[in-house]
Amino acid sequence: NAGVTQTPKFQVLKTGQSMTLQCAQDMNHEYMSWYRQDPGMGLRLIHYSVGAGITDQGEVPNGYNVSRSTTEDFPLRLLSAAPSQTSVYFCAAGTSGGGEQYFGPGTRLTVT
């Protein structure tokens, strides 16, 4: 039981490049979400999903796309990377009703 896994751990992109951050969970939780963490800003919600086929925007969605075709996977796509997207990205999975959420180890992204 790996919980929540994220790949890659580190990534460097040039401005304008696109990429997908992968997130997978093996806990069969319906709720999944993506956060970014910047110094002094805490955890800010980018997008979330309450089940396969259902996604919604969080606090800072611009520049990011998500889809949820299966319960297990919730990839985050950067369409055209910008230096402002340099951050640490965390994926989380949990129960919608209960509220408990479990985080992955994070992806550190640098955009130059």
Q: Which residues bind other proteins (CB under 8 A)?
A: 4, 31, 33, 40-43, 45, 48, 50, 58, 90, 94-106
Q: Give the nearer residue to other proteins in terms of CB position, either 33 or 87.
A: 33
- Which structure tokens are listed for 57? 């925007």
What's the min distance (Å) between Cβ of 73 and other proteins? 18
Buried b (16+ CB within 10 A) or exposed e, 37-68: eeeeeeeebbbbbeebeebeebebbeebebeb
* Distance from C-alpha of 111 to C-alpha of 103, rounded to nearest angstrom: 23
Q: Give the nearer residue to other proteins in terms of CB position, either 1 or 98.
A: 98
Q: Give the nearer residue to other proteins in terms of CB position, either 81 or 94.
A: 94
What's the min distance (Å) between Cβ of 53 and other proteins? 14
What's the min distance (Å) between Cβ of 108 and other proteins? 9
Burial status of residue 74 (CB atoms within 10 A of its CB: 0-12, 13-18, 19 or more): buried
